[in-house]
Amino acid sequence: MIKDIATPVRTKAILEKYGFSFKKSLGQNFLIDPNVLTRIVDHAGVTEETGVIEIGPGIGALTEQLAKRAKKVVAFEIDQRLIPILEDTLSPYDNVSVIHQDVLQADVKAVMNDQFKDCKEVMVVANLPYYVTTPIIMKLLEDQLPLKGIVVMLQKEVADRIEASPSSKDYGSLSIAVQYYTEAKTVMTVPRTVFMPQPNVDSAIIRLLLRNEAKVTVKDESFFFKVVRGSFAQRRKTLLNNLQHSLQNGKEKKGVIEEALEKAGIDGRRRGETLSIEEFALLSDQLIEDFKE
C-alpha cells in the first residue's frame, strides 16, 4: 500500500531526498492533510469519465488523489526543480502527464483537445499559488475553454470577493467577472495549519460551475467589462464621477453619460458596488454607441 504523499512525514522525506527548498516567489505551500485533498476531489465530482487539469501540482499530493479517481490528469508545473520529483512520486499512476510550463503562457485549449479526447467532461482542480490566483482564473474563463467547472483552493479573502453580492464590502469587478461566466460557491474553508510551510492567511475551496450562457446578454463583452472596471476605479466616488474619468473623453461627454444613466434607470450618484450585474449590462448597452473605441 502506497503511503499518501500528503502526510507531514512523507512530505518531509520527499523534500529531504531531493534537497528541495520552498520558493516564496512561487507561492509554494504544500498540503499535508490527505482528508482535505479527498474533500477537494469530492467537491469537484471527479469520476472515471473526468479529465482534470491541475495547476501547480507541487510534489503531487493533490495530483495523486485526482489520479486515483479521474480518467486522465494533466498538471502544469512552472518550477523545473519539481519535475523529477513528480516523475518519482507519481510513477505508480499511468494516467498523469506533467507539463513543465507556466499555465498563463500555455495554449490550454490545444492541450485539452490533445489530451482529453476520450473524457466525458473536463474540470480544473488545483491548489493555486496565491500570488497569481486571479490571473489564472480569469485566463481560464476568458479563453472560453470547454470546461464543466473549476474547483480551486485560494486565499479566503479572494473567495469572498468572487462570491460577493452587490452592496457588500467584498463586491467588485472580480465578483462580476467571475459570476458573469460561472455560478460561484465557497464549499469549504481550510485552516493554515494543513500547509507546509504555513501561509499567513486562511484558505477556501471555491467551486465555479460554468454557465451554458453568460449571466447577462450584452452588446459588447469587452466594453461591458471596461464599464464595470471603470465604475470601481475609486470605490468612494460616485458612478458618474468614475465613468467620467474611465471612459474616453468622459469629462467632455458628461451629459452623454448622464443621459445613458437616466435611460438605464440608474442614479449617477450611486456607487459602483451598489449595482447588480444586470444594471451594469443595461448601462454598458446604453453607453456603447457613444464610447465604443
Is 77 annotated to bind a ligand? Reply is: yes
Please, what are the domains in the chain?
Answer: 8-210 (3.40.50.150), 221-291 (1.10.8.100)
CA nearest neighbour of 254 among 265, 266, 268, 274: 268
Is 29 annotated to bind a ligand? Reply is: yes
CA nearest neighbour of 288 among 214, 213, 217, 218: 218
Is 208 annotated to bind a ligand? Reply is: no
C-alpha cell of residue 76? 502544469
User: Do 257 and 231 contact (CB within 8 A), yes or no?
Assistant: no
Is 42 annotated to bind a ligand? Reply is: no
Which region among 38-47, 147-156, 170-179, 196-205 has the lowest average model confidence (pLDDT)? 196-205
Neighbours of 128 (CB within 10 A): 23
- Give dist(CA 137, CA 175) in Å, integer: 12
User: Do 151 and 197 contact (CB within 8 A), yes or no?
Assistant: no
Is 35 annotated to bind a ligand? Reply is: no
Give the residue with greater pLDDT, 201 vs 86: 86
Is 172 annotated to bind a ligand? Reply is: no
Q: Is the pLDDT assigned to residue 145 strictly greater than 80?
A: yes
Confidence of residue 144 (pLDDT cuts 50, 70, 90): very high
- Give dist(CA 87, CA 4) in Å, integer: 16
Neighbours of 197 (CB within 10 A): 11
Give tens-digit pLDDT for 69-127: 999 999 999 999 999 999 999 999 999 999 999 999 999 999 999 999 999 999 999 99
3-class SS of residue 172: coil
Residues making up the chain, counted from first to last: 293
pTM: 0.93
Q: Are strands 149-155 and 121-127 parallel, antiparallel or unpaired?
A: parallel
pLDDT for 2: 66
Q: Is the pLDDT assigned to residue 1 strictly greater than 60?
A: no
- Give dist(CA 116, CA 114) in Å, integer: 6
pLDDT for 293: 67
